Structure 1
Amino acid sequence: MALALKVGILFNLPMKPQRGEEIDYLAEEEVLDQVEAVQKALEKLGVQSQLFPVKDDVEEIVKSLKARRPDAIINLCEGFMGDSSLEMHIPSILELLRIPYTGSTPLTLGLCQNKGLAKAILMAYGISTPRYRIMEEYNDPAGLRFPLIVKPLREDASIGITRRSFVRDGAELKRQVDYVRSVYRQPALVEEYIGGREFNVSILGNEEPLILPISEIIFDFEDEPKIVDYAAKWLKGSEEYAKTRPVCPAKLDEELRARVEGAALGAYRALGCRDYARVDIRLEEGTGKPYVLEVNPNPDISPEAGFSRSLRAAGIPFEDFVKRILAFALKRAGKDLQLM
């Protein structure tokens, strides 16, 4: 049975990033795997799909959307012109054109893109996140306890994070802050390193969100840092990739699962996530306290990504996930997902 819809897939064409390392391009390419997966899902649903690739001309995409007028858009856009900090502006176009779309609002995308703002909101809601400082340039990290992790303030997909991002003293901290400033041309987020187990919590839904089976990242490194850096996420031939293994579902007792899920759901709601998102959490060694590391309101949904892994563990076919998020988008526009 087919769905009587014209659904657009909006995505950024991979481009050389405007800043950072040459190798960061690999993170741009993964959006094409998402597009292919969504196309196949829509085909299974009997839905007519339209591709809306975003290049370097805003006027072109506006004309295309107005001319083809899709009933809804699946928004996979992660940036514009190779700049991930512009991600929030693409769904703003859809808001102005009054085209229903999946995923979070421009405001939520922008807040989560800025790690410092996201952490400030989490703290205001009483949700534990590692203590941090934002450094425009190196200065004394008074009040923070080494070791620390240094990240670009406004990047995602582990861009700008390597094993050198784990710093043990002032000299290493200065080196890494200077690196972020010179290579990524933005402030550095400096936060306390939380040693312990790491979990990815995928969430689906709005009024009554469904927490999918939790993934745990198993680190096969003997020494610290045990982190998901850029190599661990994207460089399949690297030692970091080989020694960073996701396991889903994670082995958790009920009490611990409840604490991890509670922290993730609190972060999801505090930052205004919509339809689906992923929350990354560290469980502090010794105390067992969950700390929210990051919230991704536009996570990778390609077949090999953590979100899809959790869908499979929950027994939810990918096309059913696509159907659900389309229903969310259409409901906001006062429409129902009608079967032909």
Structure 2
Amino acid sequence: MLDERKKRILEAIIDDYINTGEPVGSRTIAKKYIFGISSATIRNEMSDLEEMGYLEQPHTSAGRIPSDKGYRYYVDELMKVSRLSPQQVEFIRSQLNVKFNEINEYMENIAKIISNLTNYTAVISTPNVKKSFIKYLQLVPVDSKRYILILVTNTGLVKDILLDKPENVDIKDFIYISNILNEKLSGLKLEDIDQKIILDIENILGKNKTILSPIIENVLRTISAADSTEVVLSGIKNMFDFPEFSDVLKAKIFLHIFEQKEMLRQIINSAMHEHITIRIGTENPIEDLKECSVVLSNYRIGDSIAGSIGIIGPKRLRYSQTVSLIDYICDTLSDILTRLFTE
């Protein structure tokens, strides 16, 4: 258990190290943060904190830096969660409340926003909803041999698919065929399109039924791809602006992480049942992230968790601001996706 003076000194050291990236000495604390206490007294307290495992001394003559234990105590006991400014709130809402054609593209834009606002690497899992259904289908002729299948889903996906026209199908029948497809398929999810429905459509289309197979195949493939969970990244190069990752070997290790999509999925899915997850250094289950901190939160569709949003940064990341930002983006995104998927 730390007394109040040790708490103040530990908090001051971590705040200063987060801002500067330089080991912190007792004179810095005495001049900038804690007045009325001599630097000699602060130095003794820092020695005690080091012995207790909250601080580390990277070089014999240098000041101290926080240990993973020190960061953990800071996050759990000392950190004051900051509020976003009205300007930040307005900016985020304006960036998220936009129309989009594909959910993955929308999530990529959110990742860019987060990486730009934090200067860390943003990592996002796309919504795991498995609820996309067909809203509209239309066949549009391109020439005598090809046509475009336009597929629109309830999630906002609009897909144009170029297909070959069977020789026996007349372009004049495209409006009729489109109407039949919409009558039979509109409102159906992937799992609803069974052989019975396909045979029913074939019987109605008669001689034009040869056009149906590639349409169904592409509709099923497109919806399946849209409903699958992907991991989206942005701002990988941001990490190399921090001195901790200027070392070539560390940079290669860090890049290796982002080439392993399954590893990233493991990182982000591990937070799917917690509101805010903060993993610091050695708390990360993946060895290559031992020099990093990860902050994750969930977003929802209705009452169900749909995915996670987070950042990967150095251990001296700005925890308070980052938690506030991620939390607000998740809440805003949850409202937007809930309206989109449930209305």
User: Does the pair score TM above 0.5?
Assistant: no
**Which of the five TM-score ranges fits, normalised by the shorter chain?**
under 0.3
Larger radius of gyration: 2
